[in-house]
Structure 1
Amino acid sequence: MEYRNIVLVTTKVAEGIVRDVVRGIKDFNIKLVVLDAPIAALINTRYIARELKRRIKEVLDADIVVVPGLSRGSARVIEDAIGKPVIKGTKYAGDIPELLKLLKNGTEFSPVTPADDIILEHLRHTYSERFNEYLRRAEEVFKVSNLSFYAKPPPLNLFYEVLVTRITNDENIRSIVGKVVKYGYQGIVLGCEAGGCKLSALLSIARKVRDLAPGIVLGIDMECREELLKDVINYVDMLFNVTSADVEKVSHLINDEGVVLTVKPVRSARRREVVGALEKGYQELLNMGIDKVIINPALLPPLLGLYESLITYYEVREKFSKAPLLMDVSNVYELIDVDTHGVVALLEALAFELGVSSILITEESRKAVGALKEASISREMLYRAFIKKSPPIDIDVDMLYIKEKKYRNVDPPAIRGERHVVLVSRRIDPILDPKYYVKVYVDHASKMLVVDVFERGSDNLVKRFVGSDALSLSRAVVRSVDITKEHALYLGYELSRAETALILGKSFIQDTPLIIASYDECDENSS
């Protein structure tokens, strides 16, 4: 059956988004019916049936009615109420165009199953195509070294900053460049600490980065002293953290090609002073003919101005609607003792909503290791959610490393007779192996597990076993060394924990806890 007249049922909150995504569709006559309800997840199909029956005139011309995929219950009750074919649409508005495209091509949808579940593979395959189509329409503000900068995301440019003092050899440089390229970053920023950095080392590293990754944008974050900048400015594409007080120092050093300047405020506790200083510095640069400028209002740490600085970002976005903004999110995740991946994802989402199109990432503390990868995954989550017009949920990408969305435990089956059950309610001390003892290590540098087997008594090393798979390593030890059964069980237990530490990048110390749960045991079986 051919459908020409489509009624889309939506809610007040989603109305604007739905109108936006269907605006350019010309193959159908689309009519919106907006229900007097906040969000689709809180309504059921019986409610929709009552409302549409009451407003029957609005659906009389419909060939088919599409109701929100998040609505609860079967849409057959709606069909019975209005006498029209009714299907469940997609859960989120961004996928409506794909639903309509497939509806036109004859795909059959259901009054019971949300459209997403029917066309999941299609949505997966067309995501990149839809996102790239959006990027083709996006208008850049300026370009430097083949990298485009935009007033608002997407795209979201990622920059990785590393202190020059942390780069001690060429292998460090290759490792940094390799990670940046692997995770799709747009640039590397070489940072100098407060006391400055050795100019010769800085220039040497800059040249090597250029040789290894000619397509990567190179930035420098250093004190704005003219005698230093004049020697490095020709090696870099971006100069970070220029304040309004530095404008005069750097303006005449910018070459004809133009270096991107990221302007930040002189530290101030007052939001109005921050916005004023940024406006002054930005306008001075524009007056000098320097228009490749990114504004960095500066994100402050938790309890030291974080909330206020987010408001500053909003006000700067409103005042400079065409200027790209940058956010250094490490100012938050480096200064709060929680796992970084959730913080990074939330901060990127906030930046996205605030219209920030460039993100700066560091890994200066031990707990921040992995933030580079986490920011890349977070960006992919935001891109997919942006296309779907949804929160970053149920998009085939996530960072649920410890917790899970659904309880999928395989519970033990019931058995008859208590005589078959052995309850172990107290600790059973081990019977030590009379011949050997083992030491288990994690070598994070080589990504290997190590088992050293020693003779008990003499402490002589019998053999070292190295491997990346705990089970195979355990088998290799027990087949090569005559350890006792209890010792073999213990070795398998410790190697399993070591393998988990290797996967998570955590420190491993034999016989000490690896993970401490952040929630009560009674909550573990929550669905």
Structure 2
Amino acid sequence: VEEQLGVPVFKGPRYACDIPLILKNFASLSKEEALDVVLARLRDEAWSKLGELTEGFHLGFTIGRVDVEPVYVGVDGPVRVLAEVVDAPELPLSKVIARTEYFLESGADMIDIGAIVGKDNSRKISDLVHVVREKFRVPVSVDSLNPAEIEAAVEAGADMVLSLDYGNFEEVKLPSDVAVTILPTNVKKGEIPRSPEERARKTLELVKEVRGAGLVKVLADPLLEPPINPGIANSLRSYFFFRDMDEVTPLLFGAGNVTEFIDADSVGVNVFLALLAQELGVAVLLTTENSVKCRGCVREVAAARKLAYMAKALSTPPKDLGVDVFVAKSKKEYFEPPDTEGMRVISEVKVDDYSPDPLGYFTIWVSHDDGRIFTLYRGVKGEMLFAGRSAEHIGKAILSEGLVGSLEHAIYLGRELEKAEVCLKLGKSYVLDVDVFGGWHE
């Protein structure tokens, strides 16, 4: 093209509608790579190097004692993701390890070992903390108010304690290199301040008292609560009041207290929480995947905090930054339909008659634990089990075995496999013959 036109030619983005955004953010162009590919790589490289840039941060501290990669937390840094293995003492060790690996692959910075209220599992928690730290070399916290469990976890190397409150802080002796999160409660007496002002005040008072006892790595958690009842808006006011009184102490958001209590898709909720967190100087977002509807929350929060931090760093609203957290919607139209004026339109035809495939039938299911789609064939050729992450690859493998005897069945099988792949990516339950997006909008 350069030879024909006599002008320099560079590679642009994959989609023409992205040209204005790319030109706005690039000082130089490339003849080798598509610019959106370059932008994505540079963005990922910049984020991966963020941990090396913590010398520029000075308002917070690092979480991580010995033998783990420390993580900086502070009002001047990005929000960190703390993923909780809920009810960890009741799980087999292999399950805890698998969950930890999955959470870290999803973008978590730290792992929380969740205790069980009303039970003393000091020995199990100690073992879990030791194994997770040794195997993955990341900071590990313990989520317990039980002094015995807290001390056992810290003895095993725990880097952070969730949480200290008015009912247990005098009973727990901790070394100064352990991070602690402060609550305004006295759970032992069943006391939880209801007014936002009192909650913020009691949180700050205990923060000061704990610091006076020699603990320097302190986070505050005025408690984020579920919507409507008790009410997220009221609990958020506690964070605003606290931040008005104390501008530098890192805060913690319990995102799971919100996402687990809303029957709605979690991704938008998590993005909004991450943006609020960045504005308020929340340093840690504690999230869970304790229910089916919250599958993928760690990945969602990890992506959302990138959007939030980039917006903060550039002093701009969280849009047009080259990073997004779209899942079910698109920002732009990428296809212009061809001119079909004058053409005859063939409407969809509903076929009522069902003819079973003489070669057999298939059972399809999705395993989110394995991260794969399974397809079981039963028919004249016996039984065969196919597994993978791609509907196309599974479908082609089935066709290569000659297991489909009609075009109608091939269309049906392809549709269901594609649905299964969408469900796998969304963390959604797959149900045969049920629309993936069926629900309120129908």
- Gaps in structure 1 of 5+ consecutive residues: 1-89, 109-117, 521-527
Tell whether 2:136 aligns with 1:213.
Answer: yes
Give 1:492's aligned residue: 414
Distance in 1 (alpha carbons) for counterparts of 2:53 and 2:174: 33
The 1:128/1:171 distance shift into structure 2, 3 A limit, reads same
Q: Which amino acid aligns with 1:217?
A: P
Q: CA deviation at 1:441?
A: 2.6
Residue in 2 aligned with 1:343? 269
What is the TM-score when the length of structure 2 is the normalising length? 0.80
Between the aligned partners of 1:179 and 1:435, the Cα distance in structure 2 is: 39
- Bigger drift between 183-192 and 351-360 goes to 183-192
Map of 1:249-288 to 2, 5 A cutoff? 249-250=171-172, 253-255=173-175, 257-266=176-185, 267-288=192-213
Please give the alpha-carbon distance, in whole angstroms, between the structure 1 residues aligned to 2:100 and 2:207: 31
> Once structures 1 and 2 are overlaid, which stretch shifts more, 472-481 or 118-127?
118-127
Greater shift in the superposed pair: 280-289 or 121-130: 121-130
Residues 166, 289 of structure 1: alpha-carbon distance in 2 compared, 3 angstrom cutoff: closer
Distance 2:417 2:182 in 1: 50
Paired with 2:313 and 2:279, the residues of 1 have a C-alpha distance of: 14
Q: 1:478 to 1:268 in 2, by over 3 A?
A: same
Conserved in 1, the CA contact under 8 Å of 2:80 and 2:285? yes
CA distance 1:121–1:137, change in 2 (3 Å): same
- Match for residue 163 of structure 1? 86
Distance 1:196 1:149, change over 3 A: farther
Equivalence for 1:469: 390
Q: Displacement of 1:247 after TM fit? A: 2.4
Name the structure 1 match of 2:7. Answer: none
Q: Hey, what does 2:356 align to over in structure 1?
A: 432
What TM-score comes out, normalization by structure 1 length? Answer: 0.68
User: Identity of aligned pairs, percent?
Assistant: 24
How far apart are 1:340 and its partner, in Å? Answer: 1.0
AA at the equivalent of 1:137: G
Find the structure with the greater CA-based Rg: 1
Per-residue CA deviation, residues 139-172 of structure 1 (Å, 9 max, x unaligned), is 1433443636554132322211212447633332
Shift of 1:393: 1.1
Is 123-132 or 352-361 further displaced after alignment?
123-132
Q: Does 1:384 align with 2:305?
A: no
CA–CA separation in structure 2 for the residues paired with 1:314 and 1:264: 15
Deviations 1:102-127 (A, max 9, x none): 6xxxx89xxxxxxxxx9996898489
**What CA deviation, in whole Å up to 9, does each residue of 1:216-247 have, x standing for no partner?**
2221111233x444433322221112112322
Find the aligned partners of 1:465 and 1:442 in 2 and give their Cα distance: 12
Conserved 8 A contact 1:190-1:219: yes
Gaps of 5+ in 2: 1-19, 30-34, 186-191
Question: How far apart, CA to CA, are the structure 1 residues paired with 2:271 and 2:262?
Answer: 15
* 1:295 counterpart = 2:220: yes
Q: CA 1:396/1:519 → structure 2, altered by over 3 Å: closer, same or farther?
A: farther
Measured in 1, the distance between the counterparts of 2:149 and 2:88 equals 17
Q: 2:163 aligns with which of 232, 237, 241?
A: 241
SS of alignment partner, residue 248 of structure 1: coil
Distance 2:417 2:302 in 1: 31
Assess if the C-alpha contact under 8 Å between 2:365 and 2:374 holds in 1.
Answer: yes
Paired residue type of 2:219: I
Determine the C-alpha separation between the residues in 1 that align with 2:406 and 2:419. Answer: 20
- Using a 3 Å threshold, how does the CA distance of structure 1 residues 449 and 133 change in structure 2: closer, same or farther? closer
Structure scoring higher RCO (CA < 8 A, sep ≥ 6) equals 2
- Residue by residue, what CA displacement relative to the aligned partner does 1:18-74 show, whole Å, maximum 9, x if unpaired? xxxxxxxxxxxxxxxxxxxxxxxxxxxxxxxxxxxxxxxxxxxxxxxxxxxxxxxxx
Contact 1:142–1:149, Cα closer than 8 Å, also in 2? yes
Within 1, Cα distance between the matches of 2:51 and 2:371? 36
TM-superposed deviation, 1:432: 2.9
The CA distance in 2 between the partners of 1:503 and 1:159, in whole Å, is 22
| Residue 409 to residue 519, structure 1, CA distance change in 2 (3 Å) | farther
Aligned-CA RMSD value: 3.4
Query: Structure 1's 198 and 491: CA in aligned 2 closer, same or farther, altered over 3 A?
Result: same
Amino acid at match of 1:473: I
Partner of 2:227: helix, strand, or coil?
Answer: coil
Write the distance in 1 (CA, Å) between the matches of 2:307 and 2:219: 24
- C-alpha change, 1:120 and 1:357, in structure 2 (3 Å) is same
* Partner-residue secondary structure (3-state), 2:132: helix
For 2:421 and 2:195, how far apart are their aligned partners in 1?
49
Give the Cα–Cα distance (whole angstroms) in 2 for the partners of residues 143 and 476 of structure 1: 50
The equivalences for 1:369-408 within 5 A come to 369-408=295-334
Q: 366, 372, 389: which one pairs with 1:442? A: 366
Q: How many residues align?
A: 402
Distance 1:500 1:122 in 2: 26
Structure 1 residues 290 and 477, CA, compared in 2 at 3 Å: closer, same or farther?
closer
Equivalent pair of 1:196/1:223 in contact (CA under 8 Å): no
CA distance in 1, matches of 2:327, 2:40: 25
